[in-house]
Amino acid sequence: MSDHLELMRNLALGMNQGSPQALALKLETLSIDRDGSVLKVPYDEKLIGDPETGVIAGGVVTTLLDHACGQAVHAAMTEFKTIATLDLRIDYMRPAEPGKDIFAKAHCYKATRSVAFVRAVAYDDSPDDPVAAAQAAFMLDSSAGRGFGANLKPRKDRK
């Protein structure tokens, strides 16, 4: 296994366990490589958005897609850089099937010096029948030059 792939797997695990929301949703990275990532959120009654239908809340799908996209960006990079979501557009196509886990498959298809572009789908049975589709943009090296107080200048009107 390559060092880069091992680093990406460790980073994905850190993202899933280091984010309180991802941890609460029990996000799991099923695969991650240069082609992208596949994540899963297991069905849980605590995540239901509509008690009458048993459908998982849309915010769960949003979180799943955002994490899958971020992990796909990291997998596509040749060196580690911090990232931040700039834009995340989601088209919801149908409700997820009650009782089924939801998956997200993401692929970073273009990266410039400062922005990466990603496409993803969320699905319960097949990526060919998506619950939602996402298009995202991520800032690369989002913390560059942002050392504590690096850009702060004292205001002259304060003492």
Residue 6 confidence (pLDDT): 81
pLDDT score of 156: 52
Q: What is the pLDDT along the chain (159 residues), one digit of tens a residue?
A: 577 778 888 888 888 888 899 999 999 999 999 899 999 999 999 999 999 999 999 999 999 999 999 999 999 988 888 999 999 999 999 999 999 999 999 999 999 999 999 999 999 999 999 999 999 999 998 666 554 334 434 445 444
Domains parsed from the chain with CATH numbers: 3-140 (3.10.129.10)
Q: Which two tokens stand for residue 96?
A: 């997820």
The reported pLDDT for the residue numbered 142 is 67
Tell me the pTM.
0.86
Contact 105, 38 (CB under 8 A): yes
Residue 73, classed as helix, strand or coil, is helix
